[in-house]
Chain A
Amino acid sequence: MLSASIETATAVPWADLPAELCNLVVDRLDAFSALRFPAVCRSWAAACQVGPRRLRPGAPTLLTPILMDGNGMAAAAAFALYDVSTGRSFHASVSGRGGLKNRRWVGAKDDWLVTTDATCSLELLNPATGDLVRLPSFATIPGGRRDCRGWHPNLRRAEVRLYIGGGDGGVWRRVDGIGGDHALFVGQSYPFYVTVPRGSSDLKANSVYAADLNGYVAMVFDQCQGCAGGIGPFVYSDFRGTSLRPIWFRPTAAHLEPLPVHQT
């Protein structure tokens, strides 16, 4: 009477899994899978209402490595996301092809990380989905520095040249500008503004959060007028001191627009 399909098509009401068991399962999920859990059905969403155990979409986080090899590359696909406004730490790993293994990150934009390896092979990596876009090597930038460790702007030069790269095996091409209403931030980590919700007890308005100051301590500067009044370091426990520095990371679903290509 029981056919083989009974085994695959489960008959028990998984949607009715008691809330306490749902939470035991969510506790064991990585940060990204935990976010998807409530989207499955209403009763699972209701179970997750008890206690905010998940990463909040759009929340500013510090991305830190968990395991490193001797050369400062990520030794595993795993990383930690530290939600600075709640002080909670989440772990996740790159799905699929292990896109962080033996690579280091040199920048982040929205839901993408820029990673490089010892041979300067550049990739864009979406840590949540495992999506990977190969970029031309830094070495192909005309007159560029062959430094795989990332971007080191030389601000004494009067001219800034912008290059974009894309497509498998493509090259870097110079562009004329970055578009009418855009501004570009450069530096060791990717800075961004967030709008602090009125009455928020988590994030402090009119403050600067700075990562990677003096020995891998992150700071929050309150009432930032000249940023004199640092109100002290906040502790994020996942980071094991290495040369791969923590980076600001805020996954959103921003849209990337093509830039005008420089005509020579």
Chain B
Amino acid sequence: MEVDKGKGEAEETRKVAEADRDTVTLKSSDGKLFEVSKEAAARLSTVLAGMIAGGSIDDNGTDLKQIGSEALENVVDYCNKHANSIPSAALISSSISFNTAPFKEPEEWERKFVDRLSHDALFDLVEAANFLGMERLLDVTCHKISEMMKGKSPDQIREVFNIKNDYTKEELEEIRQELAWAFYDD
């Protein structure tokens, strides 16, 4: 009884400590652990916010089976950098607002953050951001991907992203005719 009671108290103390902690531990698909500020995680990811609010955060590492360690490291890195950055004027007032592009331009540090990524890392990061419901990181990564294909012909885009052309010759000719004016000469 004594022992049981003591264990119960310890459990209680640990739970309080867990609630008081200001970081959460995330575990990648390959078992690596990462710590991230609870405030930043809850603010930047709707999925993590839901898990924190719902108490389904595991002190020993919350399993994120869909996310590899490299992508998770980038996610955590982004959260930490975001927590430390002061929003600039550029973030608040976008220079031109287009009907089709009501998106806030990435900040300078966000540009640098995605610019240093390999194409593979960028792909994994955009999927991780999507999985975790990180709207701002999705903005930044999708902006980067769109930058990589602007002004390029379909052939050039395939080359950049290592995509196999799976259209038949006839289909390609049809597309070409429909969009001839919009295509660069390959």
Contacts and interface: CB of A to CB of B under 8 A. Distances in A.
Interface stretch (A22-30, A133-141, A185-193, A197-205): A22-30
Nearest to B142: A24
Interface in A40-68: 40-42, 53, 57, 66-67
B123 A35 contact: no
Contacts of A40: 154, 157-158, 161, 163
Contacts of B182: 32, 35-36, 57, 128-129, 251
Task: Give chain B's interface residue range (CB within 8 Å of chain A).
Answer: 35 or more
Tell me the dominant secondary structure on chain B's binding face.
Answer: helix
Task: Give chain A's interface residue range (CB within 8 Å of chain B).
Answer: 35 or more
A12 B142 contact: no
Given A10-B120, A15-B164, A238-B99, A39 B150 contact: no
A10 B123 CA distance: 10
B124 interface: yes
Nearest to B151: A95
Interface stretch (A85-93, A155-163, A208-216): A85-93
Contacts of A37: 149, 157
Given A33-B151, A89-B98, A110 B181 contact: yes
14 contacts: A14-B123, A21-B142, A29-B150, A31-B100, A32-B182, A40-B157, A42-B167, A57-B178, A88-B99, A90-B99, A91-B99, A129-B182, A238-B99, A253-B181
Interface of B: 96, 98-101, 103, 118-120, 123-124, 126-127, 130, 138, 142-143, 145-146, 149-154, 157-158, 161-167, 175, 177-184
